[in-house]
Amino acid sequence: MKKILILSAFCSSILLASSEVEDLKMQLLQQSEMIKALTQRLDKLEEEKSPYSENIASSGFDTSMMQGTQTANASFSQNAYLPDIALIINSSAVGRNIDNVDYSAYSTPGFIDTDPNKEIPFNPDRGFNLNYAEVAMYSAVDPYFDAFAIFHMRAADFEIDEAYVSTRDLPYGLKVKAGKFKSAFGRYNEKHQHAWEFSEQPIVYSGFFGPEGLSDPGVQLQWVAPTDTYLMLGVEAMQGTNEQSFAYAKTNNLYNTYVKSSVDVTEDTSVLAGISYIHGKNLEGNTDIYAADLTVQTQLDSYRSLAWQSEYMYRNREQNIKTARQDGMYTQLVYDINQNYSMGARYDILMKNNLGDKNLDMYTAMVEYKPFEFSRLRLEYSLDKSKYYGGEQKDVQQLMLELNIAVGAHGAHSY
């Protein structure tokens, strides 16, 4: 009897184990069918969302002809339809020995006229300033184009700072940009304010191009030579709306050409150089501007570096039957002390100016603290001798504390 009971229990356990195995098999089969159905549904949704599918379906195009193109552009990802978005906030606290009303009415003989209503976009007020909130967007459009847009928002206005497309993979080292963009003229113009080494731009740039530089609708073509040494040639055709030097409204009038190169002198030291020439029309004649720049940067260790940068600019501007022959330059030295701290000094001068006083200059010194990569505090002092008030030159002393915050995906600026 005991043996019979033991045998019965053994047989029952075998039957139960077999039943559990069958249940597990059934569950796995059901899950497999569910995953297959979900995968098919996801593929269908992706096809419905794809703009290519919509365009091709509506045109009746034979998709089999696109297989070669799809293979050649396999590196392109649909994830690129989600644009990178960045937000930059720039504010400052300013102490200045000129009050706000007088400061807005300054002039620089031969360069900037007296206008109490002139736009001063950065740090206009003695006290506190919210200079701008900048929204930057970037996305790959398709395997052939990238799109960029940068918007500036201030208390009183909203503007499109840049909005353009650029090609991705043209042969022979060529690249095309079209839309509204900052000209690659010179060394400083292409950078945005939050990427400047100092809180204010060189006075030769503000004198020739105004406070926001040279930015216009147009088209740009660049060619990078297939050499070990970096060599880039560029040409631009732009509308020419800049009031400081051009502003001939009847048609597009601005043409720019430049050559830029860099060479590694040693493993730690690089030299960058460039020359630029721009021609355009103003309301009374032609304007020609020439520029040459030189930058030497040496890396002292992982975080410490020293950069010396200088740029010279010369302008011939036909004006009131007389040609304004003017030039100016700046030279600056910036020392990155470590990962968090840097300091620098810059000297600006307007030298030749046959429409007014010569040798108008400015001295600037700054100390910068970056607690992390996306935040920056900069303390800057400047002594500006280039401004006139009521026809009289006055020294403007200014102490500024600037805060810059960046969040989101923001591409690197030009080196």
What is 93-122+182-408's CATH number?
A: 2.40.160
Return the number of other C-beta atoms located less than 10 Å from residue 132's C-beta.
23
Best CA proximity match to 399, nearest among 204, 121, 200: 200
Q: Are 359 and 379 in contact (CB under 8 A)?
A: no
Residue type, 157: D
Q: How far is CA 59 from the centre of its chain?
A: 38
Q: Which residues pair with 53 in a beta bridge?
A: none
Taking a C-beta distance cutoff of 8 angstroms, is the pair 179, 217 a contact? Answer: yes
Structure tokens at 65: 């002809």
The pLDDT profile of the chain, 415 residues, written as one tens digit per residue, is: 444 444 444 444 444 445 555 665 676 676 677 777 767 776 666 555 444 333 333 334 343 333 434 444 445 555 556 789 999 999 999 999 999 988 988 998 888 887 767 778 899 999 999 999 999 999 988 889 999 999 998 877 889 999 999 999 899 999 999 999 999 999 999 999 999 999 999 999 999 999 889 999 999 999 999 999 999 999 999 999 998 899 888 899 999 999 999 999 999 999 999 999 999 999 999 999 999 999 999 999 989 999 999 999 999 999 877 888 999 999 999 999 999 999 999 999 998 887 666 679 999 999 999 998 899 999 999 999 999 998 888 999 999 999 999 998 876 656 5
* Of residues 386, 387, 382, the one with CA closest to residue 364: 382
Separation of alpha carbons 399 and 382, rounded Å: 7
Residue spans of the domains in the chain: they are 23-57, 93-122+182-408
- The H or E element spanning position 190 is none
Whole-number Å distance between alpha carbons of 355 and 319: 10
